[in-house]
């Protein structure tokens, strides 16, 4: 019988009583590798309740103890790194190298969470008034919820629960139903690291489970990563319920290529950043903006892309894997057709790619368009496939205007050898993460992941110092201790005397 994915509630891996189960498939073969339940309302309720009870003890647990749990967890994740990456590669189709990156970028956040003591320090000012001191302390919120997408089943859950729990909260994770095996393995290792029962629960399902968690009276903070439509729903509903919400959404990331850039670096960087992970990264480069004479490199970029070939996760020569499911493949092929129908020039067409030995995989070959205008759907919408659009402009100013007019603001990069051009770009661009001669500028966890505009709804971002602000309340204490009980009279003003 196929493996049935359990729920994690109150420290126990339990079998769901649900009557609704979904297949988890290997996207290179369509083989069903597991069945995942849509947790029942009662199971979701149990998960929140277990987290609520555990919070009462965990919030009183010394910060050093919380940090030591993260240290043990980091150690276990490192020990099991390749095994997690293998599981991840099988259920997502990512190449083994890329799957290792997914796990590693998550481990880095756990390392960051080990610093929770210094990260959660408050501020103190002595003598804000005569013999009166003022200081702030940070306190956890309660049961925090995480809803995660399919495309980083290790890294994105690890953006969330280690930081939330290190801050003293407890957590309910609802991972993507498309690749739940990796998050379950992460949860298992968290238990093995010594997490007390109830600290982390994992429930499975789709929109019903999400909506129950989102509107529950006992879940004050919601972290979401996924598509724009769902992100908007999460942000609107959660804030309507007066919760704090951080919702990371879709993207359309541009790379600007100046004529003075290092050409080989440009060509290799565009190829890797556009089709890596089959374009299924929120930081993938999907638009290359060639400025002035750099347009002469378009044929070389096309040739570099043509050499990258998709393949199975354990094929060391494969550049990337399949789309996550047949519907995702159809969607990408639909966009390619729309581009052609709209009159764009498809200079590399991966629609009919064949991967030997894997006739049923959701393959799309590297694809590139030029002659695209900004009113075309292939420019306006997130394709989330290995499709690169080349635009051509005359000046850096034009490139900046073009990108600032695009509604998304997740990531961008520019390649140049001019410090002045790079400085102008980083200053004027309305995008939250900028790479200068770096194609995919995902910040390391001492910083935060800072998407802007339609790519992020909320105020505080993931990991870094901002995650601590998101997962805690600040309490500010103003204190005076009397040496003598002198009668200073009644003070009816707001001034401290
Ligand atoms: P998705 O929005 O379909 O699903 C994300 C999560 O929401 C899943 O757990 C899913 O079960 C749940 N969900 C789906 N439909 C729902 C609904 N109607 N109501 C409530 N919950 C629902 O996203 P996906 O396809 O898994 O992931 C790809 C998307 O995520 C892309 O748009 C990508 O750009 C985005 N993404 C963004 C970032 C970022 O940091 N900005 C990072 C990774 C992925």
Ligand 1 proximity of 212 Cβ (cutoff 6 Å) = no
Q: Ligand 1 mean position to 230 CA, how many Å?
A: 6
Q: Ligand 1 mean position to 151 CA, how many Å?
A: 9
CA dihedral of residues 89, 198, 462, 378 (deg, nearest 10) = 50
Ligand 1 proximity of 215 Cβ (cutoff 6 Å) = no
Ligand 1 proximity of 43 Cβ (cutoff 6 Å) = no
Structural domain count, the chain: 2
For the stretch 277-305, pLDDT in tens is 999 999 999 999 999 999 999 999 999 99
CA distances, 63 to each of 118, 136, 424 (Å): 10, 16, 43
Closest alpha carbon to 389 in 354, 334, 437, 346: 346
Report how far residue 469's alpha carbon sits from residue 238's, in angstroms, rounded to the nearest whole number: 18
Question: Is residue 488 a part of any domain in this protein?
Answer: no
Distance spanning both ends of the chain, measured CA to CA:
75
Question: Is residue 445 a part of any domain in this protein?
Answer: no
Question: Is residue 271 a part of any domain in this protein?
Answer: yes
Question: Is residue 55 a part of any domain in this protein?
Answer: yes
| Residues acting as catalytic residues | 282
Ligand 1 proximity of 179 Cβ (cutoff 6 Å) = no
Residue 449 DSSP symbol: B
- Same domain membership, residue 163 and residue 136: yes
pTM above 0.80, yes or no: yes
- Block means of pLDDT (10 residues each) for the chain, length 497 residues? 94 98 97 98 98 98 98 98 98 98 98 98 96 97 98 98 98 98 98 98 98 98 98 98 98 98 98 98 98 98 98 97 98 98 98 97 98 97 98 98 98 98 98 98 97 98 98 97 91 88
- Same domain membership, residue 299 and residue 237: no
- Same domain membership, residue 102 and residue 214: yes
Shortest-distance Cα residue to atom 40 of ligand 1: 248
Ligand 1 proximity of 382 Cβ (cutoff 6 Å) = yes
- Same domain membership, residue 273 and residue 187: no
Q: Ligand 1 mean position to 193 CA, how many Å?
A: 29
- Same domain membership, residue 326 and residue 198: no
Shortest-distance Cα residue to atom 23 of ligand 1: 226
Shortest-distance Cα residue to atom 24 of ligand 1: 149
- Same domain membership, residue 166 and residue 18: yes
Q: Is 201 helix (H, G, I), strand (E, B) or coil?
A: strand
Question: How many CA atoms lie within 13 Å of 280's alpha carbon, on the beta-carbon side?
Answer: 28
Among 93, 172, 184, 226, residue to substitute to test ligand 1 (most atoms within 8 Å of Cβ):
226
pLDDT value for 79 = 98
Token readout for 497 is 């005397």
Among 202, 227, 412, residue to substitute to test ligand 1 (most atoms within 8 Å of Cβ):
227
Contact present, 113 and 106 (Cβ < 8 Å): no
Token readout for 49 is 């309740």
Burial class of residue 452 (count of CB atoms within 10 Å of its CB; 0-12, 13-18, 19+): middle
pLDDT value for 11 = 98
Closest alpha carbon to 451 in 437, 467, 434, 436: 434
Contact present, 219 and 48 (Cβ < 8 Å): yes
Ligand 1 proximity of 149 Cβ (cutoff 6 Å) = yes
Report how far residue 159's alpha carbon sits from residue 108's, in angstroms, rounded to the nearest whole number: 9
Contact present, 319 and 308 (Cβ < 8 Å): yes
Helices (H), 417-486: 419-428, 464-470
- Same domain membership, residue 198 and residue 84: yes
Residues 455, 460, 466, 468, CA torsion sign: negative
Shortest-distance Cα residue to atom 38 of ligand 1: 282
- Same domain membership, residue 280 and residue 202: no
Q: Ligand 1 mean position to 297 CA, how many Å?
A: 35
Residue reference for tokens 């290529």: 257
Residue 443 DSSP symbol: P
pLDDT value for 496 = 86
- Same domain membership, residue 97 and residue 7: yes
Q: How many CB atoms lie within 10 A of CB 338?
A: 15
Backbone angles phi, psi at 142, to 5 degrees: 140, -130
Q: Would strands 124-129 and 132-140 be described as parallel, antiparallel, or unpaired?
A: antiparallel
Whether ipTM > 0.90 holds is yes
Question: Is residue 361 a part of any domain in this protein?
Answer: yes
Helices (H), 80-220: 81-92, 96-113, 116-119, 155-166, 181-192, 207-215
Ligand 1 proximity of 239 Cβ (cutoff 6 Å) = no
Q: What DSSP letter does each residue of 45-66 carry, written as one string?
A: HHHHHHHHHHHHHHTTS-HHHH
Question: Is residue 227 a part of any domain in this protein?
Answer: yes
Ligand 1 proximity of 150 Cβ (cutoff 6 Å) = yes
Report how far residue 263's alpha carbon sits from residue 300's, in angstroms, rounded to the nearest whole number: 10
- Same domain membership, residue 353 and residue 235: no
Print the domain residue range for 336.
253-407+411-436
Shortest-distance Cα residue to atom 30 of ligand 1: 226
- Same domain membership, residue 264 and residue 209: no
Question: Is residue 441 a part of any domain in this protein?
Answer: no
Question: How many CA atoms lie within 13 Å of 53's alpha carbon, on the beta-carbon side?
Answer: 12
Q: Exposure string (b/e) for 55-70, b if CB count within 10 Å is 16 or more?
A: beebbeeebeebbebb
Residues with Cβ < 8 Å from 82, sequence gap 6 or more? 100
Domain of residue 164, CATH code: 3.40.605.10
- Same domain membership, residue 277 and residue 156: no
Domain of residue 339, CATH code: 3.40.309.10
Q: Ligand 1 mean position to 248 CA, how many Å?
A: 9
Question: Is residue 102 a part of any domain in this protein?
Answer: yes
Q: How many CB atoms lie within 10 A of CB 363?
A: 26
Q: Is 90 helix (H, G, I), strand (E, B) or coil?
A: helix
């Amino acid at each position: 019988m196929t493996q049935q994915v359990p729920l994690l509630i109150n420290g126990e891996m339990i079998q769901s009583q649900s009557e609704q189960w979904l297949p988890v498939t290997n996207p290179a073969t369509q083989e069903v590798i597991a069945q995942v339940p849509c947790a029942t309302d009662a199971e979701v309720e149990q998960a929140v309740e277990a987290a609520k009870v555990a919070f009462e003890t965990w919030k009183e647990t010394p910060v050093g103890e919380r940090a030591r749990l993260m240290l043990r967890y980091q150690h276990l994740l490192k020990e099991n790194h390749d095994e997690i990456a293998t599981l991840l590669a099988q259920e997502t189709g990512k190449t083994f190298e890329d799957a290792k990156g997914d796990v590693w970028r998550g481990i880095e956040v756990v390392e960051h969470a080990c610093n929770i003591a210094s990260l959660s320090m408050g501020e103190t000012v002595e003598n804000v008034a005569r013999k009166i001191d003022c200081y702030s302390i940070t306190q956890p919120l309660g049961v925090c919820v995480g809803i995660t997408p399919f495309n980083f089943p290790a890294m994105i859950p690890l953006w969330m629960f280690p930081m939330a729990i290190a801050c003293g909260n407890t957590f309910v994770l609802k991972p993507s139903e498309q690749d739940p095996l990796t998050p379950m393995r992460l949860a298992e290792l968290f238990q093995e690291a010594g997490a007390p029962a109830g600290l982390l629960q994992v429930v499975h399902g789709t929109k019903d489970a999400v909506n129950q968690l989102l509107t529950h009276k006992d879940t004050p903070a919601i972290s979401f990563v996924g598509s724009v439509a769902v992100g908007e729903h999460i942000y609107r509903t959660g804030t309507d319920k007066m919760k704090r919400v951080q919702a990371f959404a879709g993207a359309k990331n541009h790379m600007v290529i100046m004529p003075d850039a290092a050409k080989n670096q440009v060509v290799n960087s565009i190829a890797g950043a556009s089709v890596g992970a089959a374009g299924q990264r929120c930081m993938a480069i999907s638009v290359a903006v060639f400025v002035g004479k750099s347009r002469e490199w378009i044929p070389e970029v096309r040739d570099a892309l043509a050499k990258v070939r998709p393949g199975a996760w354990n094929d060391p020569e494969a550049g990337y894997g399949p789309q996550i499911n047949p519907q995702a493949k159809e969607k990408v092929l639909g966009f390619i057709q729309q581009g052609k129908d709209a009159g764009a020039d498809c200079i590399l067409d991966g629609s009919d790619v064949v991967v030997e030995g894997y006739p049923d995989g959701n393959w799309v070959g590297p694809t590139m368009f030029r002659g695209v205008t900004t009113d075309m759907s292939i420019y306006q919408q997130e394709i989330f496939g290995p499709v690169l659009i080349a635009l051509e402009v005359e000046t850096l100013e034009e490139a900046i205007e073009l990108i600032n007019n695009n509604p998304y603001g997740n990531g961008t990069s520019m390649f140049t050898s001019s410090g002045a051009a790079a400085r102008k770009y980083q200053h004027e661009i309305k995008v939250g993460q900028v790479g200068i001669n770096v194609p995919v500028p995902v910040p390391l966890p001492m910083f935060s992941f800072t998407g802007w505009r339609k790519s992020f709804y909320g105020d505080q971002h993931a990991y870094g110092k901002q995650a601590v602000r998101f997962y805690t309340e600040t309490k500010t204490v103003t204190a005076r201790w009397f040496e003598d009980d002198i009668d200073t009279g009644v003070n009816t003003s707001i001034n401290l005397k």
